[in-house]
Copies of this chain bind each other. A is one copy, B any other.
Amino acid sequence: MEANTYSSAGVNIEKAEHFVGRLKTSSRRAGHERLWKGAGGYASVVPIDDEIAMALTTDGVGTKLLVALEFEQLEGIGIDLVAMCANDLICVGAKPTAFLDYFATPKLDDAQADAIIQGIVEGCDQASMLLVGGETAELPGLYADKHFDLAGFAAGTVTRKTLITGDAIAPGDIVIGVASTGIHSNGLSLARKVIKEGDPMRKALLQPTAIYVKPVIEAMQRYSHSIKGLAHITGGGWRNLLRLNDQVGFSIDKPLALPPVFSHLLQHVDAEEMYKTFNMGMGLALIVNMHDAQIIQLFKDYGYSAAQIGTVTDKHGEVAIDAESHLGRPAKFTLKE
């Protein structure tokens, strides 16, 4: 088996985290103590007064852009862009309200731009957000030929009462997994390396990211006291769970069904590396202390597969995984930060 890792695909997660670390240090300055702490740091929560705050986040779609360009199929990328931001906002308990995009290209191409904007509008509809603005920059000389970049910025509101901090998560709580639609927008650098051009599976990488806003907003309205944490599973894979609360661990023994793209990737990538990089069929996890059957049903009513997949443990900093149902052979391993 080849040593296919995220690092070998040209992405240096440690270096990126080092940079983010320096960012945080520089942010640990006067004024930052008044920010509210939102679970997992999925969004920055900036208070407006004692009761209400803005939740803000930014994200891109990474090298999924390159796959979209390869197939000249850009519609889904706009949905991905909105999804990456909107799914982050809901993790702190915020209601997404407004989206802005940054679109930079060496030379504006009407058809390209139209396809992207159509996807962004569709994504905003799915996320119940308004597309309120954006910046379109024509930057000759900056990008590789015919390439472009996209960044998204989303804002929402959250109150003291609806804010999810993750602090209430405790051993014994239930973990609900909500199905992803495929690879979403993370781990594409590695996936592109493994699933080569010409491979029939390559186009499956383009499946747009699921947007979980509507069921989550409804779940928070109906079962607010039961929902203790939400984890959008992005880069870092299932380790994202550990962002929610550093006093607990997680045991996942009944994972959701694995989309075919991951079975394909498993032929070439080490299993543990897979769970550290990809969503492995779970785009969102909820930590709840009751009402799990109703919440699961609510997601199903919106068309998303969902199930109880595990529990919260006292082994802090560890995600214990029983992957037998995914791998078709006994397979247990433990992910750490």
Residues of A within 8 A of B (CB): 9-12, 15-16, 18-20, 22-23, 26-27, 31-32, 35, 41, 43-44, 46, 48, 52, 54, 56-60, 62-63, 65-66, 97-98, 100-102, 104, 107-108, 110, 113-114, 117-118, 121, 130-144, 147, 149, 151, 153, 155, 157, 189
A16 touches B108 (CB 8 A): yes
B151 touches A12 (CB 8 A): no
The secondary-structure label for the interface of chain A is mixed
How far, in whole Å, are A102 and B66 apart by their CA atoms in the complex? Answer: 18
A140 touches B58 (CB 8 A): no
| Number of copies of this kind of chain in the complex | 2
B140 touches A35 (CB 8 A): no
How far, in whole Å, are A189 and B114 apart by their CA atoms in the complex? Answer: 24
A140 touches B189 (CB 8 A): yes
A58 touches B130 (CB 8 A): no
Neighbouring B residues of A35 by C-beta, 8 Å: 130, 132
- Not counting A23-B131, A54-B157, A153-B153, a sample of 14 additional A-B residue pairs whose C-beta atoms are within 8 angstroms of each other reads A9-B140, A10-B141, A18-B110, A19-B117, A22-B117, A44-B98, A48-B52, A54-B155, A58-B100, A58-B135, A60-B135, A60-B137, A142-B144, A151-B153
B137 touches A100 (CB 8 A): no
B98 touches A141 (CB 8 A): no
How far, in whole Å, are A62 and B102 apart by their CA atoms in the complex? Answer: 11
Neighbouring B residues of A101 by C-beta, 8 Å: 58
A131 touches B57 (CB 8 A): no
Find A20's partner among B32, B118, B136, B155 (CB 8 Å cutoff): B136
Instruction: Find the B residue at minimum CB distance from A144.
Output: B144
